Amino acid sequence: MAISIFIELSIVIIIAVIIAGMMRLLKQPLIIGYILTGIVVSPYFLNIVKSTEAISTFAQIGVALLLFMVGLNLNPRIIKDVGKVSLVTGVGQVIFTSVIGFFIGKLLGFSTLVSIYVAIALTFSSTIIIMKLLSDKRDLESLYGRISIGFLIVQDLIVIVILMVISSIPAGINFTTLALETVLKGGGLLILLFIIGVYIFPKITRAIAKSQEFLLLFSIGWCFAIATLFYYLNFSIEAGALIAGITLSLSPYHYEISSRMKPLRDFFIVLFFILLGSQMVFTNISQYIIPIVIFSAFILIGNPLIVMILMGLLGYTKRNSFLAGLTVAQISEFSLILIALGVKLGHLTNEILSFVTVIGLITITGSSYMIIYANKIYPYISKYLKIFEKKGSKVDEHKYHEHNSHNIILFGYNRMGYDLLESFKKIKKKFLVVDYNPETIISLAKEGVDCRYGDASDSELLNELNLSKAKMIYSTIPDFDTNLLLINKIRESNKKSIIIVISHQIDEAIELYDKGATYVIMPHFLGGHHSSTLIEKHGLNINKFLKEKTAHIEHLRNRKNMGYEHPKHEMHG
Which residues sit opposite 411 in a β-bridge? 434, 475
Return the H-helix or E-strand segment holding 111.
Answer: none
Highest mean pLDDT range out of 189-203, 271-285, 377-391, 472-486? 472-486
The answer to whether the beta carbons of residues 249 and 219 sit under 8 Å apart is: no
CATH number at residue 268: 1.20.1530.20
Q: Looking at the predicted structure, is the pLDDT value of residue 296 above 90?
A: yes
Tell me what pLDDT residue 518 has.
Answer: 93
C-alpha span between 265 and 62 (Å, rounded): 6
Q: Which is more confident, 492 or 202? A: 492
> DSSP assignment, residue 520?
E
Q: Percentage of the chain with pLDDT > 70? A: 88
The answer to whether the beta carbons of residues 280 and 64 sit under 8 Å apart is: no
Residue at 77 is within a domain = yes
Residue at 415 is within a domain = yes
User: Is the same domain home to 409 and 456?
Assistant: yes
Return the H-helix or E-strand segment holding 266.
Answer: helix 254-278
Tell me what pLDDT residue 522 has.
Answer: 86
Residue at 213 is within a domain = yes
What is the maximal distance between C-alpha atoms in the chain? Answer: 86
Residue at 573 is within a domain = no
Q: What is the mean pLDDT of the chain?
A: 81
Domain enclosing residue 269, as ranges: 2-388
- Poorest-confidence range of 131-145, 299-313, 400-414, 519-533? 131-145
Domain boundary residue, one of 388, 414, 429: 388
Q: What is the per-residue pLDDT across 356-412, written as a single tens digit (0 to 9) for each? A: 888 988 888 888 889 888 888 888 888 888 888 877 666 666 677 776 778 899 998
Residue at 570 is within a domain = no
Confidence of residue 441 (pLDDT cuts 50, 70, 90): confident
User: Is the same domain home to 378 and 413?
Assistant: no
The answer to whether the beta carbons of residues 445 and 434 sit under 8 Å apart is: no
User: Is the same domain home to 319 and 342?
Assistant: yes
User: Is the same domain home to 66 and 15?
Assistant: yes
User: Is the same domain home to 267 and 195?
Assistant: yes
C-alpha span between 297 and 363 (Å, rounded): 8
Highest mean pLDDT range out of 45-49, 160-164, 193-197, 452-456? 452-456
Q: Supply angle C-alpha 430, 434, 435, rounded to 5.
A: 145
User: Is the same domain home to 383 and 414?
Assistant: no
Residue at 422 is within a domain = yes
Mean local confidence (pLDDT), 541-559? 84
Q: How far is CA 334 from CA 104, 160, 229, 339, 520, in A?
A: 21, 10, 21, 9, 45
Instruction: Choose among 141, 150, 131: nearest CA to 89.
Output: 150
Residue 114: burial class (beta carbons within 10 Å; 0-12, 13-18, 19+): buried
User: Is the same domain home to 382 and 423?
Assistant: no
pTM recorded for the entire structure:
0.69
Residue at 362 is within a domain = yes
Q: Where are the alpha helices (DSSP H) in 314-396?
A: 318-326, 333-344, 350-372, 374-381
User: Is the same domain home to 175 and 307?
Assistant: yes
Residue at 134 is within a domain = yes
CATH number at residue 495: 3.40.50.720
User: Is the same domain home to 239 and 216?
Assistant: yes
Domain boundary residue, one of 330, 357, 388: 388
C-alpha span between 369 and 182 (Å, rounded): 40
User: Is the same domain home to 384 and 420?
Assistant: no
Domain boundary residue, one of 388, 423, 444: 388
Instruction: Choose among 31, 8, 10: nearest CA to 19.
Output: 31
Instruction: Choose among 479, 484, 470, 476: nearest CA to 501.
Output: 476
C-alpha span between 227 and 112 (Å, rounded): 30
Mean local confidence (pLDDT), 3-9? 82
Instruction: Choose among 260, 246, 52: nearest CA to 164.
Output: 246
User: Is the same domain home to 338 and 419?
Assistant: no
The answer to whether the beta carbons of residues 269 and 58 sit under 8 Å apart is: no
Instruction: Choose among 461, 452, 456, 467: nearest CA to 400.
Output: 452
Which residues sit opposite 500 in a β-bridge? 474, 519
User: Is the same domain home to 374 and 491?
Assistant: no
Confidence of residue 174 (pLDDT cuts 50, 70, 90): low
C-alpha span between 303 and 314 (Å, rounded): 17
Query: Domain total for the chain?
Result: 2
- 408: helix, strand or coil: strand
Confidence of residue 148 (pLDDT cuts 50, 70, 90): confident
Q: Where are the beta strands (DSSP E) in 68-118?
A: none
